[in-house]
Amino acid sequence: MFARRYLPSLPSLLALEAVERLGSASAAAAELHLTQGAVSRQLQTLEAQLGVALIIRERHSLRLTPAGRDFVAEARRALQMLNHASLTLRANPTGGSLNLAILPAFGMHWLAPRLARFAQAHPEVTVNLSTRLKPFDFAASAFDAAVHYGRRDWAGVEYLKLMDEDMIAVAAPALAARALTEAAQVLTLPLLQLESRAGDWGRWLAHFGHQGPRPPAMLFDQFATMTQAAIHGMGVALIPTYLIGRELDEGRLVPVFGGPVRALGSYYLVWPDHGPSRAPLASFRNWLGAGLASAAQA
């Protein structure tokens, strides 16, 4: 928050800056298209507001006190920043930055290729990415939107569904050399598990008709490390199919039993459900929605 009591008006700052640069109220008045008396009043108002003498008034000229010179140096930088912001806004009235919280694996494999196309379609928008694994309070963050996996259980947001997810049980070829005739036989092999999805193996087994307690498994915090562990023969992993297309094609991972199984959650773009939508977010949301609609019709 600004201390408004000490926040000078723009006309007062412009008057002081011009006097410091030009050396007289008359020259400043001519540049600002004001009367000399108007410039003098702006300077008096500024000194009264700040409670500090800024001007030394001599017979035919004005010069700034040391404190005034220091103040003008700071104020000039602020004026230049305002000028730059105005020029940027005029050049790109729908532009700006989009601060997006992403999930690491989804961001790298699904979102990143699309962001390149978005950048081509909307060069006025700069996208900034940061990783967040769990829901957070938008009001306490600088994020405009986030990628969410799961159900529609994030309070205070609106949703754009990006995609569903299919999981497949895979392992290194050496570990999967013995063909499994039923899903329950996977329990004879070491299992790998994402710690944020503790129920996946139980749901996978139930899908194939095997009911029982949640099986123990080695835990990982990200799909990338779990995928590498599976490739190196450490166990059987349940991994989204969109993440391991290349590994399956190249034979570094192979299915151990059955085909893909629909996961419990889906991926969504979420953003606060209150307040006006910033132009960069609106551009990104509309662009994503159009692409998803086209893909659904293909």
| pLDDT value, residue 100 | 95
Is 4 or 52 the better-scoring residue by pLDDT?
52
CATH of the domain at 44: 1.10.10.10
pLDDT of 117 above 90: yes
pLDDT band at 237 (very low <50, low <70, confident <90, very high): very high
What is the per-residue pLDDT for 278?
A: 86
Query: What is d(CA 230, CA 25) in angstroms, rounded to the nearest whole number?
Result: 77
Q: What is the mean pLDDT of residues 197-225?
A: 91
Write the DSSP string, 32-90.
HT--HHHHHHHHHHHHHHHTS--EEE-SS-EEE-HHHHHHHHHHHHHHHHHHHHHHHHH
Q: How confident is the model at residue 120 (pLDDT cuts 50, 70, 90)?
A: very high
Within this chain, do residues 117 and 61 fall inside the same structural domain, yes or no?
Answer: no
pLDDT number for residue 178: 86
For residue 250, what is the domain's CATH number? 3.40.190.10
Pair 105, 28 in one domain = no
Query: What pLDDT, on a 0 to 100 scale, did the predictor assign at position 167?
Result: 96
Q: Looking at the structure, do residues 177 and 128 belong to the same domain, yes or no?
A: no
% residues pLDDT > 70 (the chain): 95
Q: Give burial (CB, 10 Å; 0-12/13-18/19+) of 251.
A: exposed
The owner of tokens 């930088």 is 77
Asked if 157 and 270 sit in the same domain, the reply is: yes
Give the β-pairing of 125-131 and 254-255.
Answer: unpaired
Split into its structural domains, the chain has a count of 3
Task: Tell me: pLDDT of 60 over 80.
Answer: no
Question: Do residues 97 and 252 make contact, with C-beta atoms less than 8 angstroms apart?
Answer: no
Q: What is the pLDDT of residue 91?
A: 55
Are residues 181 and 252 located together in one domain of the fold?
A: yes
Euclidean distance between CA atoms 159 and 92, whole angstroms: 27
227 membership: H or E segment, kind and range:
helix 223-231
Segment holding 26, helix H or strand E: helix 25-32
Take residue 90 and report the two structure tokens written for it: 């005029």
Question: Rounded to the nearest 5°, which phi and psi values hold at 10?
Answer: -65, -40
Residues 186 and 68 placed together within one structural domain of the fold? no
Over the stretch 5-48, which tens digit does the pLDDT of each residue have? 778 889 999 999 999 998 888 898 899 999 999 999 999 999 89
Question: What are the beta bridge partners of residue 64?
Answer: 55
Per-residue tokens: 201: 């193996």
Contact, 204 vs 168, CB < 8 A? no
What pLDDT sits at residue 185?
A: 95
> Are 168 and 291 members of one domain?
no
Mean pLDDT over all residues of the chain? 90
The per-residue pLDDT for 88 is 60
pLDDT score of 89 more than 80: no
pLDDT number for residue 58: 80
Confidence of residue 277 (pLDDT cuts 50, 70, 90): confident
Last residue within a domain, chosen from 91, 118, 136: 91
Do 258 and 288 share a structural domain? no
Helices 112-121 and 279-297, packing angle to 10 deg: 110
pLDDT at 6: 75
Cβ of 3: how many Cβ atoms within 10 Å? 6
Q: Is 161 within 8 Å of 266 (Cβ atoms)?
A: yes
Query: At which of 61, 91, 121 does a domain end?
Result: 91
Residue 207 to residues 96, 221, 262, 263: CA-CA distances in angstroms?
A: 46, 24, 9, 11
Indicate whether 85 and 108 sit together in one domain.
Answer: no
Residue 238 has pLDDT above 90, yes or no: yes
pTM, entire model? 0.67
Are 227 and 239 in contact, with CB atoms under 8 Å apart? yes
Least-confidence region, from 12-16, 95-99, 199-203, 206-210: 95-99
Residue 187 has pLDDT above 90, yes or no: yes
**Is the CB of residue 92 less than 8 Å from the CB of residue 98?**
no
Any idea what DSSP says for residue 172? -
Give the domain-ending residue among 59, 91, 123: 91
154-185 pLDDT, tens per residue?
999 999 999 999 999 999 999 998 889 999 99
Tokens 């991926």 found at: 267
Q: Using alpha carbons, select from 178, 180, 191, 258 the residue that is nearest to residue 230.
A: 191
101 and 125 share one domain:
yes
**Domain check: are 154 and 36 in the same one?**
no
Same domain for 169 and 249, yes or no, is yes
Q: In this structure, what token pair is assigned to residue 228? A: 């590498």
Structure tokens at 241: 């199919």
Residue 190: band (very low, low, confident or very high) from pLDDT cuts 50, 70, 90? very high
Containing domain of residue 36, as a range?
4-91
Distance CA 259, CA 167 (A): 9
